[in-house]
Amino acid sequence: MNVVIANGRRIVPDEVRSLVEEKVGRLLRHCPGLERAEVHFTEEHNPRIADRECCEVIMSGHGRVIRAHASAPDPLVAVDLAVEKLEHRLEKTKGRIVGRSHPRRQVTRSERAKVRTG
């Protein structure tokens, strides 16, 4: 997987970079066809906002784009929150894909009658 880490004006520390690559790489077990992940870090400039560090992760591949955005006081926590959201969305997407490729089995009238009479 190609992981691209971008930041507005600041340099992303190596510990954050390695953590992002590890956590986003682990998400491949949900949907192995995703080829690219972009991670963007921004900072809110409003002093009233407590969760200043924002992390946005965009994963793409197989014609799908999955995005998650999270804010926290620390960039490492923001990454964790974004990865949790992405995990949920990837599981949901995988369920849709599997559900469409494996249609439900049609139950015949005779089978329904057998179940009712038991």
Spell out the domain ranges in the chain.
2-117
- Placement of tokens 């004006």 in the chain: 9
Higher pLDDT, 30 or 89: 89
Higher pLDDT, 41 or 33: 41
Would you say 74 and 45 are in contact if contact means Cβ atoms under 8 Å apart?
A: no
pLDDT score for 118: 58
Domain 2-117 classification at class level: alpha beta
Q: What tens digit of pLDDT does each residue of 2-21 get?
A: 888 887 667 788 888 899 99
pLDDT score for 61: 87
pLDDT score for 82: 95
The full 3-state SS of 42-83, as one line of letters, equals EECCCCCCCCCEEEEEEEEECCEEEEEEEEECCHHHHHHHHH
> Which whole number is the average pLDDT over 14-29?
87
